[in-house]
Amino acid sequence: MKKILIIILFLLSAKAFAQDTTYYDADWNKAPRYKAAYFTVYTKDGNFWKRTDYYLKSKRAQMKGTYSSINPEVKEGYFEYYYESGRLKHTGNFTNGKETGVHIWYRETGNLEAKENYANGKLDGPYEEYYENGKLYGQSNYVKGIREGWTTYFREDGSKLSEGNFKNGKRAGEWKFYDETGKVEETNIFKTDFNIPEASMFIRMPNDEWCLSKHSEDKIISYTFLRSPIKDSSGRAISPAILIYIDDAKIFDKNVTKFSITKRGNFVNVGLKLDKISSPSDKGYPIAYKNSLFMKTSYTDKNNMEHILYTAYIINNDDKGIQIYMDMTKDISKTCETEFMQAFKSIKEIKK
């Protein structure tokens, strides 16, 4: 009997030694216990290691899962992640350290946050996001980690907001935007490369946040490109714009300076201030056209918001006068100036 007892004690002792505890700070760097925010317990189970991460303060589980290797760490099988409150945060499977199959994310309230599908560690298949109230925010699809295909977005009340296609991770083609009643409010064309046939001109939008919002073929042809809103420091949603106007400039006899002065007369009542003017002979000039002028101007609108307005005046080989205006508020200029300059540098004349 004594011999049996000794064997049992040995087995229990061996199991205890198969556990390993490691402490981590708030950034998951190894740390002494007194500096730790988390601790991890590994338990050997055959050829695998079962791991549980804990919140040090509450002693509640932060993660549970199995590893085929701990050096390096390779996740294998089903994993669960938790908020410190104990509520479930994330569930999903891993194969050879990479996400696979369905992964589900929850908010601390218990409402769904997202449903994802993975293959070999990359998003692949249907994808859904949810508002904090649990209502569906968007339905989309991924192929090998890139958003691809038909996508629909909804408002928090469940009504449809917009829908259209993604191609290679960017909004592409016609997108429809709906009001709260379900009526089409506007239709925008999303793509990056645009030929402006009336001006024999090419322009590339900086990214798929920009869309062609309006195209008018009146006496003066116009194109209006709008960017997705950017929140300024006051929380206001600002939509930067790129405006292109094309008309006949034969009367200016290729004199782009006279053309620019005439067109700037339209801004007299705005109080437009000329900050800088440059020409093709200047270093770093952003426009490919030789017969052009580039200006940085500023003004204050009726809401007392300061604006920066980039302007280009061009007379092309066909005597078409081209005016290009890129308007933003000063508050969001750090984001927009880079995008505007990318657009200006892309402009070139299409050879016939």
Q: Tens digits of per-residue pLDDT, 154-196? A: 999 999 999 999 988 888 888 999 999 999 988 888 888 899 9
205 and 71 both lie in a single domain: no
Q: CATH code at 156?
A: 3.90.930
CATH number of the domain encompassing residue 262:
3.40.1000.10
**Is 206 contained in some domain?**
yes
Residue 295 φ/ψ region, left for φ over 0, alpha for ψ in the -120 to 50 degree band, beta for the rest:
beta
Residue 62: per-residue pLDDT: 97
Identify the pLDDT of residue 217: 86
Looking at residue 1, its pLDDT comes to: 45
Q: Which domain holds residue 75?
A: 18-179
172 and 43 in a single domain? The answer is: yes
Where b means 16+ CB within 10 Å and e means fewer, 80-99 reads: ebbbeeeeebbebbbbeeeb
What local confidence, expressed as pLDDT, does residue 51 receive?
A: 95
In whole angstroms, what is the distance from residue 167 CA to residue 349 CA?
A: 27
Of 65, 19, 22, nearest in space to 42 by CA = 19
List Cβ neighbours of 225 (8 Å cut-off, separation of 6 or more). 205, 210, 211, 212, 213, 241, 242, 243, 244
Q: Where a domain ends, among 179, 212, 241?
A: 179
User: What is the average per-residue pLDDT within 109-123?
Assistant: 97
Q: What is the pLDDT of residues 214-262, one digit of tens each?
A: 899 877 899 999 998 898 888 888 899 999 999 999 999 999 999 999 9
Contact 176, 189 (CB under 8 A): no
Residues 216, 238, single domain; the answer is yes
Joined tokens for residue 198: 């009336």
pTM of the full predicted structure? 0.64
Three-class HEC string of 309-335: EEEEEEECCCCEEEEEEEEEEHHHHHH
Q: Which residues of 209-235 are buried (b: 16+ CB within 10 A; e: fewer)?
A: bbbbbeeeeeeebbbbbbbeebebeee
Residue 6 in any domain: the answer is: no
115 & 204 share domain: no
Give a yes or no: residue 164 inside a domain.
Answer: yes
Same domain for 165 and 120: yes
Is 267 or 145 the better-scoring residue by pLDDT? 145
How do residues 40-67 score in pLDDT, each as one tens digit? 999 998 999 999 999 999 999 999 999 9
In a domain, 223, yes or no: yes
25 and 152 both lie in a single domain: yes
Can you name the residues that pair with 73 across neighbouring β-strands?
A: 70
Query: Do 165 and 196 have their domain in common?
Result: no
Does the residue 257 lie in any domain?
Answer: yes
Mark whether 152 and 217 lie in a shared domain.
no
Phi, psi of 296, deg, nearest 5:
-110, 120
71 with 121, same domain: the answer is: yes
Domain count, the chain: 2
